A and B are shown apart, each in its own frame.
Chain A
Amino acid sequence: MALIVATLLLFTAGPFVLWPLIRTPEETQETQPPTVGERPSVAKR
């Protein structure tokens, strides 16, 4: 019984968890956060 409940709950939560994979690439780029404290990357020569 607990297994069935767990499976149902996982299916319910699935769309929320996997949303970043479902989004379009444009939406993903819009929500990229800026990074603080990391060294800026150095372009390869």
Chain B
Amino acid sequence: MTPYLGSGALLAGLVMAGFSALLSFWAGWRENSVMVQVGRRAFYGSAAMIVLASVLLEFALLSHDFSLAYVVEHTDLSTPMPLVASAFYGGQEGSLLYWALVLGLLGSASLFASSALGLRLAGYAAGLMASIMSFLLVVLVIVASPFDILAVTPPDGLGLNPVLRDAGMLIHPPVVLAGFASFAIPFCFAAAALMAGRSDAAWIAHTRRFALMAWALQSTGLVLGMWWAYHVLGWGGYWGWDPVENVALMPWLATTAYLHSSQVQARRGRLRAWNFGLVILAFLLVVFGTFIVRSGVVPSVHTFAVSAIGPWFFGFLAVCLVFSIALLAFRVGGLGSNAKPAPAVSREGAFVLQNLLLVGVVVIVFWGTVLPLVSGMLGQERVVGASYYERAAGPLFVAILALMAAGPLLPWRHAGSPLLLALRWPAGAAAVVLAALLIAGVRSVPALLAIPLAAAAATTCLVEYWRLGLKLHRSWRGWSQAVVLVVRRRRRYGAYLAHLGMVVLVVGVAGSHFWQQEKDVSLMPGQQVTVAGYTLTYTGAEQRQLADHSELVGAMRLGDQTLEPARATYAGLGGQSLTHAAISSSPIADVYVVLTGMGGDGSASFQVFVNPLVSWIWAGGAIIILGVVLGNVGERRLASELAVARVRSAVPA
């Protein structure tokens, strides 16, 4: 019964989404209040059907309903229950349903909050969102249904891929997929504003809120993905410039640019066309990324079973691209601003330069990602490695870091001689750190650029907090007054906290990249190896039988800790094996041990890495999210009202 209920729910969802799309466009055009509401409610109804289908799929997974092909392909009886539940988004069809679920829930929330934006804009936004939803549901109903029934019900399933049998599976894919899905929401509001001929501050405030949410989800997803890759894949690194990583990074970069440039529009009424373009670009990159990931057109370690959905997403990408370009071209003439451009050395100038640098990184990453595809079409397939990205994008990242140090200290309009005075603290910090690195014998130019600039950027944030402290001290009227002042400016200080988190992350990346040490050894029990001052003793091997796999463990003693790197073998999955790295973490460095083989004479081979400052990456990610959450949650006034008030006060009529 479950498959029929699930398929029926998807079909009903598709009908409602299609109805919502057509009605909302018509109602928005006619500015018909009642029909806009009906269209919006049809979208809610479609979302409810997707919730029902998701509950049914989860029920089928947890009850081991092997009449469903999806349950057979992604679970078996030996898979632990939490991982069985996570198989919901572990396969092609389920992850598409999860995408539709996130779009339905977040889209409903955004449409619910959009009623104050005006009928036309709200109607068009609902129409666009329902169109995207209709596309996903068409794919789910016709090409990739998770409710397909097998002719013969097998007694057991094939099981989840060993790499996915990890606690990280419970958190990384849902967050990163939610981030991916939620980029559609700012796109819908941006495109709707263009269609409605609206370029005022209300749409940007509304869009910014959801862009920020998508950005925060994607940031969390990216950091969790790095953490998972580091802990599970056993190669000692966390970022491999794999196409799937790249396609997750690109919309994040475009949205980072938008979150900064939207401030220029909110404050000065400028960069309207650019902001529209960035929001649209982020969504197009998401669709492009989905096409790349799910069609198998470029080689990637992230294996999604190649299915028939590739051409569908290619068609969807083409439609979105043509629609977006036509819309921008049609409306760009009306998006100019009367406000005078600020001088190059100003906050606005810094934002523009930062935006250009971020878009430059997007172009570099995009080219590296599509090169196998393009070169394959021209004859010989070519793939670029990490060195391409580091050499091409590295200088741009360094320049962005420099802007993080200087930009927040620049005034919005005129930067005169006080600028030099304001920059003395970050410049001083950079000089001190540079001198310390040179004295310590560091000669790597990238390291000598990145770390002092990170110190400068951190100092800028700390200077701003110091100024806040001084302001509070001077006008002290009790704690309640101080809290009110901080809360009123929490977006600003939350942003500085996010910048601090980014600096911590950059230091972690720089430390682990420039000073990683590695040694391959073969040891007999009792023998030792020393890497970067850390001495490990091999104590012996042990075979363990667990619920769904067996493990060959080679134990190593590090001080008073025992590290247990292992090779897991999944007999139920045709003997597939997986490396389990053992990691000893500290704020200074991680000792990362991989068991690479066992000799017949009792010896064991290990790959030992010492990765300095890796834990700073995870800490930095957490601080970024904390900054975003503290800076943006619970605003009392409507963000749109705030933005309107700002633009009215800043831009002369």
Chain B count of residues within 8 A CB distance of the other chain: 37
Residues from chain B with Cβ under 8 Å of A34 in the complex: 116
State how many angstroms separate the Cβ of A13 from the closest Cβ of chain B.
Answer: 4
Interface residues as binary, A1-15 with B (CB distance below 8 Å gives 1, 0 otherwise): 111111111100100
For chain B residues 1-46, which have a beta carbon within 8 Å of chain A? 4-5, 7-9, 11-12, 15-16, 33-35, 37-38, 41-42, 44-45
Q: Which of B5, B35, B119, B201 contacts A37 (CB 8 A)?
A: B201
State how many angstroms separate the Cβ of B29 from the closest Cβ of chain A.
Answer: 16
- Chain A interface size band reads 20 to 34
Q: A17-B38, A35-B118, A38-B202 are in contact. Are A5 and B8 (CB under 8 A)?
A: yes
Residues from chain B with Cβ under 8 Å of A39 in the complex: 200
Q: A36-B116, A37-B117, A37-B203 are in contact. Are A3 and B49 (CB under 8 A)?
A: no
> Is B4 a contact of A16 with CB atoms below 8 Å?
no
State how many angstroms separate the Cβ of B41 from the closest Cβ of chain A.
Answer: 5
Q: Which of A4, A6, A21, A35 contacts B9 (CB 8 A)?
A: A6
B431 within 8 Å of A (CB atoms): no
Question: What is the bound-complex CA distance between A13 and B286, given in angstroms?
Answer: 31
B331 within 8 Å of A (CB atoms): no
Q: Which of B8, B45, B203 contacts A13 (CB 8 A)?
A: B45
> Is A20 a contact of B117 with CB atoms below 8 Å?
no
> Is B200 a contact of A38 with CB atoms below 8 Å?
yes
Q: A1-B4, A37-B200, A37-B203 are in contact. Are A17 and B45 (CB under 8 A)?
A: yes
Residues from chain A with Cβ under 8 Å of B346 in the complex: none
Of the listed residues A6, A7, A19, A33, the one surrounded by the most CB atoms of chain B closer than 10 A to its CB is A6
Dominant secondary structure of chain A at its interface with chain B: helix
B282 within 8 Å of A (CB atoms): no
B541 within 8 Å of A (CB atoms): no
> Is B38 a contact of A20 with CB atoms below 8 Å?
yes
Q: Which of B4, B11, B38 contacts A18 (CB 8 A)?
A: B38
Residues from chain B with Cβ under 8 Å of A37 in the complex: 117-118, 198, 200-203, 205, 640, 643-644
> Is A13 a contact of B641 with CB atoms below 8 Å?
no
For chain B residues 44-64, which have a beta carbon within 8 Å of chain A? 44-45, 48-49, 52
Interchain residue pairs with CB less than 8 A apart (6): A6-B8, A35-B116, A35-B117, A37-B198, A37-B643, A38-B202
Which chain B residues have a beta carbon within 8 Å of chain A's beta carbons? Answer: 4-5, 7-9, 11-12, 15-16, 33-35, 37-38, 41-42, 44-45, 48-49, 52, 115-119, 198, 200-203, 205, 638, 640-641, 643-644
Contacts A5-B8, A5-B11, A36-B638 supplied; 10 other A-B pairs, CB < 8 Å: A1-B7, A2-B8, A6-B8, A10-B15, A18-B38, A28-B34, A35-B116, A36-B117, A37-B205, A39-B200
Which chain A residues have a beta carbon within 8 Å of chain B's beta carbons? Answer: 1-10, 13, 16-21, 28, 32-39
Q: Which 10 A-B residue pairs are closest in the complex by CB-CB distance?
A: A37-B202, A5-B8, A2-B7, A6-B11, A9-B12, A20-B37, A6-B12, A33-B115, A1-B4, A6-B8
